[in-house]
Amino acid sequence: MRDIWHPKEVSLCADTLSAQQLPGIREDRPNRRYLTQRMTNQCFPKGAAAAGAAVLLLLSGCAADFDATRPLADGVFQAISKTDEDGAVGQLSVTVSGGVVTNASFTMVQRDGTVKGDNYGKNSDGTVVSAEYYQKAQVAVRACEVYARQLVAVGDPGEVDVVAGATWAHGQFVEAAKMALRESQDKAANK
């Protein structure tokens, strides 16, 4: 977990919120309500209840739309998230065996079809112009494997914790995981 949120990761507030305005905010679940309140106050000073709800929905990963108690059918299920602001998507493959998730792999793919890997965050000639940017980009790349392992461990996309610095990747992962596992659940329901 990290101590502060970067404004870019909260697109509703990107122009008005700086990390210094929200010191001490952590990404763990108990602080989501507090963070939502602070972000709403900072971004929408006149108080906009709908905006606060939208921020909470952003942070919760839309967990309400997936029922982890429904049974899963065995098989390999794949899903692709919606595109992010740069046109990248998250691609997930999930293996279910014996009604539980036994394997998962997640990659992020750029608009041009390039998988975000070791070169993500470098220039087209393979050089690192900004070490800070490259390090942040690589955190997101490494988080893909962490998210996949967590899904195998917990079986519920809503229970996969955010890796500090990889919030966008987490959102894409959760979205794709819910789609893939809903497909498995639908298959189990139609047997």
Q: Domain-by-domain residue ranges, the chain?
A: 7-60, 68-189
First to last CA, the chain: 41
Question: Two tokens at 172?
Answer: 């894409």
Average pLDDT over the chain, rounded to an integer: 76
Burial class (CB in 10 A: 0-12, 13-18, 19+), 2: middle
The stretches of 25-73 forming alpha helices (DSSP H) are: 32-43, 49-60
Residue 126 has pLDDT above 70, yes or no: yes
CATH class of the domain defined by 68-189: alpha beta
Single pTM value for the model: 0.67
Closest to 139 measured CA to CA, from 147, 150, 127, 149: 147
Give, in degrees to the nearest 5, the angle at Cα 14 between 8 and 16: 145
Q: Which residue has the higher pLDDT, 33 or 136?
A: 136
- For 56-80, write each residue's pLDDT tens digit: 344 444 444 789 999 999 999 999 9
